[in-house]
């Protein structure tokens, strides 16, 4: 038994290829449909938004997709990320479980998001694109793409959900430090934004609206593309570096996880950790419990419908089959902004339907309690999103104590909370309250799902 705390790899261990789960699945996920014709989209439908390399990655069935050397060169700035044994947390919980976590907060932007921002920026630059428009909620994706853009000489325009834009000036300053432009959404720069401001000049915005604005800008200009920080197959593909490194690091530790845990908003940090493990299982390997953790206030996997839906509010995106609360659903303004999205990655939804993963939802106070326990034992203050994974890991460790089991738990600590301290201030002041979505609004949003006969 190793007594190490931290498992570090040198940069020669950065994966040379991303892993594509589709290659090992018993059935592929349902096709993406054109919003007008309801027919499967082809590459040409997506070409106004994405470079062809990413479109090809979106639909490939190859098991391995080579990581270009310029991307690996940037990955070296923080990858391989460390994997920790949470010995102090185990002691604090007095649990027979072993708890490991992969820590993605070491990236320059502080989360797993640069894992995909960097290749997306690279492929766009290779395709001769000058500018990328994108949306951001809490700001983690926007700052990650801004970082990646600064490295590849791309202009980055970020539409930031207005409520976050006002609440998180530090995230905005980070984007501007990387040279990006960041505007509050809804904005006056797009038809979609102006239409909403005409009805409500003080609209606080949503991810669905910000996506509409970014997609509109990208579709209009030949030199401009769009980039998404989660949900899509190619995004989850890029995140598999997390799981691939973890497999090697867990082998260094001499342990093999029984339980894998990740928080889910769009699904990318979760997929990044668990897909390589699911692949091994599908190829005849060990069966593990795989737990997706989402907020009770935006519970797409546990309360949504598995149906075709739009990714945005203005219905500019293609239709994807996913667990959705309906594109008209507006989640309450809880603190884990990165988990505040009506839909789930089609690939995560598909493996849920295949029975390969389980899902659970937590209220935010329980998650922040877990985050503070974690900070006081492991030192790292987790992002509000990551606190959902921490809560589930702690609960599994406490169950193990009751049941007399000693499972090996591995969770993805997908980012730090340095730019989210207002949430901790509210928590310490007793002002952070649990939030429920509106049942009537959910029913109406689900009733408004597009009717697709596929």
Q: H-helix or E-strand containing 295?
A: strand 289-295
CB 259 within 8 A of CB 408: yes
94 scored as a contact of a copy of itself (CB under 8 A): no
173 scored as a contact of a copy of itself (CB under 8 A): yes
**Per CB under 8 A, which of residues 9..48 are in contact with a copy of itself?**
9-11
89 scored as a contact of a copy of itself (CB under 8 A): no
Task: Give least dist CB 61 to a copy of itself, A.
Answer: 33
CB 67 within 8 A of CB 18: yes
Pick from 49, 35, 38, 45: which is nearest to 315 by CA?
35
CB nearer to a copy of itself: give 65 or 148.
148
Q: H-helix or E-strand containing 204?
A: none
Cα 370 from Cα 386, distance rounded (Å): 10
Task: Give least dist CB 184 to a copy of itself, A.
Answer: 15
Task: Look at strands 131-136 and 224-226 and give their pairing.
Answer: parallel
Task: Give least dist CB 84 to a copy of itself, A.
Answer: 8
- Alpha helix locations (H) across 283-383? 300-303, 346-353, 364-378
372 scored as a contact of a copy of itself (CB under 8 A): yes
Task: Give least dist CB 54 to a copy of itself, A.
Answer: 22
Pick from 14, 7, 145, 157: which is nearest to 75 by CA?
14
208 scored as a contact of a copy of itself (CB under 8 A): no
**Per CB under 8 A, which of residues 414..443 are in contact with a copy of itself?**
416, 418-419, 421-422, 424-425, 428
Show the CA angle centred on residue 325, arms to residues 300 and 396, nearest 5°: 15
Task: Give least dist CB 408 to a copy of itself, A.
Answer: 20
DSSP-assigned beta bridge partners for residue 412 = 102
Residue reference for tokens 């299982």 = 281
Task: Look at strands 98-103 and 83-85 and give their pairing.
Answer: antiparallel
Cα 406 from Cα 397, distance rounded (Å): 8
Which residues, in sequence order, are CB contacts of 155 under 8 Å at separation 6+? 130, 131, 132, 149, 180, 181
Which residues, in sequence order, are CB contacts of 324 under 8 Å at separation 6+? 300, 304, 305, 306, 307, 309, 342, 343, 344, 449
CB nearer to a copy of itself: give 99 or 301.
99
221 scored as a contact of a copy of itself (CB under 8 A): no
Q: How many CB atoms lie within 10 A of CB 44?
A: 9
177 scored as a contact of a copy of itself (CB under 8 A): yes
**In whole angstroms, how far apart are CA 183 and each of 6, 145, 152, 316?**
40, 15, 21, 20
50 scored as a contact of a copy of itself (CB under 8 A): no
Task: Give least dist CB 318 to a copy of itself, A.
Answer: 33
CB nearer to a copy of itself: give 105 or 343.
105
Structure tokens at 256: 């093999």
67 scored as a contact of a copy of itself (CB under 8 A): no
In this chain, which of 147, 152, 226, 308 binds a copy of itself, going by CB under 8 A?
147
Strands (E), 364-438: 408-413
**Per CB under 8 A, which of residues 297..356 are in contact with a copy of itself?**
none
Task: Look at strands 64-66 and 17-19 and give their pairing.
Answer: antiparallel
88 scored as a contact of a copy of itself (CB under 8 A): yes
165 scored as a contact of a copy of itself (CB under 8 A): no
In this chain, which of 15, 30, 110, 415 binds a copy of itself, going by CB under 8 A?
110
Choose the binding region for a copy of itself from 125-133, 206-214, 255-263, 411-419 (rule: CB under 8 A): 411-419
Task: Give least dist CB 87 to a copy of itself, A.
Answer: 8
Task: Give least dist CB 143 to a copy of itself, A.
Answer: 10
370 scored as a contact of a copy of itself (CB under 8 A): no
In this chain, which of 150, 281, 305, 435 binds a copy of itself, going by CB under 8 A?
150
Task: Give least dist CB 416 to a copy of itself, A.
Answer: 8
Cα 80 from Cα 249, distance rounded (Å): 10
Task: Give least dist CB 452 to a copy of itself, A.
Answer: 42
91 scored as a contact of a copy of itself (CB under 8 A): no
78 scored as a contact of a copy of itself (CB under 8 A): yes
DSSP-assigned beta bridge partners for residue 136 = 160
Cα 439 from Cα 16, distance rounded (Å): 46
Choose the binding region for a copy of itself from 146-154, 237-245, 286-294, 308-316 (rule: CB under 8 A): 146-154
Task: Give least dist CB 390 to a copy of itself, A.
Answer: 13
In this chain, which of 70, 179, 332, 450 binds a copy of itself, going by CB under 8 A?
179
413 scored as a contact of a copy of itself (CB under 8 A): no
- Alpha helix locations (H) across 7-83? 43-46, 52-59, 69-75
Name the site residues for a copy of itself (rule: CB under 8 A).
Answer: 4-6, 8-11, 73, 76-78, 84, 88, 106-110, 114, 147, 150-151, 169-170, 172-174, 176-179, 372, 375-381, 416, 418-419, 421-422, 424-425, 428
């Amino acid at each position: 038994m190793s007594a190490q705390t931290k498992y570090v790899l040198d940069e020669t261990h950065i994966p040379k290829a991303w892993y594509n789960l589709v290659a090992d699945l018993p059935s592929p996920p349902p096709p993406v449909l054109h919003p007008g014709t309801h027919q499967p989209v082809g590459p040409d439908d997506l070409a106004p938004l994405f470079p062809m390399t990413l479109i090809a990655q979106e639909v490939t069935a190859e098991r391995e997709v080579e990581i270009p050397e310029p991307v690996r060169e940037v990955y070296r700035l923080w990858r391989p990320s460390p994997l920790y044994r949470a010995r102090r947390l185990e002691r604090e919980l007095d649990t027979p479980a072993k708890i490991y976590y992969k820590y993605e907060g070491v990236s320059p932007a502080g989360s797993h998001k640069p894992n995909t921002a960097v290749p997306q920026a690279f492929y766009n630059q290779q395709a001769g694109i000058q500018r990328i428009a994108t949306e951001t909620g809490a700001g983690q994706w926007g700052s990650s793409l801004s970082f990646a853009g600064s490295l590849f000489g791309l202009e980055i325009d970020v539409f930031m959900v207005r409520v976050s834009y006002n609440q998180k000036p530090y995230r905005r300053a980070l984007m501007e430090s990387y040279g990006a432009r960041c505007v509050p959404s809804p904005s006056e720069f797009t038809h979609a934004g102006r239409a909403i401001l005409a009805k409500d000049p003080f609209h606080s915005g949503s991810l669905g609206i910000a996506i509409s604005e970014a997609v509109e800008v990208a579709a209009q200009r030949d030199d401009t593309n769009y980039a998404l920080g989660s949900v899509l197959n190619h995004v989850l593909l890029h995140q598999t570096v997390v799981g691939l490194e973890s497999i090697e690091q867990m082998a260094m530790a001499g342990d093999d996880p029984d339980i894998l845990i990740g928080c889910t908003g769009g699904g990318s940090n979760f997929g990044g950790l668990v897909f390589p493990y699911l692949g091994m299982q599908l190829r005849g390997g060990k069966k593990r419990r795989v737990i997706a953790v989402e907020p009770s206030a935006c519970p797409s996997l546990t309360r949504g419908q598995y149906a075709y839906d739009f990714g945005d509010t203005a219905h500019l995106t293609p239709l994807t089959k996913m667990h959705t609360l309906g594109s008209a659903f507006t989640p309450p303004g809880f603190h884990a902004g990165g988990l505040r999205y009506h839909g789930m990655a089609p690939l995560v939804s598909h493996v849920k339907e295949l029975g390969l993963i389980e899902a659970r939802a937590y209220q935010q106070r329980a998650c922040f309690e877990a985050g503070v326990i974690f900070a006081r034992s492991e030192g790292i203050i987790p992002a509000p999103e990551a606190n959902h994974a921490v809560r589930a890991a702690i609960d599994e460790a406490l169950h193990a104590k009751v049941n007399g089991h000693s499972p090996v738990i591995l969770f993805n600590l997908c980012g730090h909370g340095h730019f989210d301290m207002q949430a901790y201030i509210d928590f310490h002041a007793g002002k952070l309250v649990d939030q429920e979505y509106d049942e009537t609004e959910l029913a109406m949003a689900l009733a408004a799902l597009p009717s697709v006969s596929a």
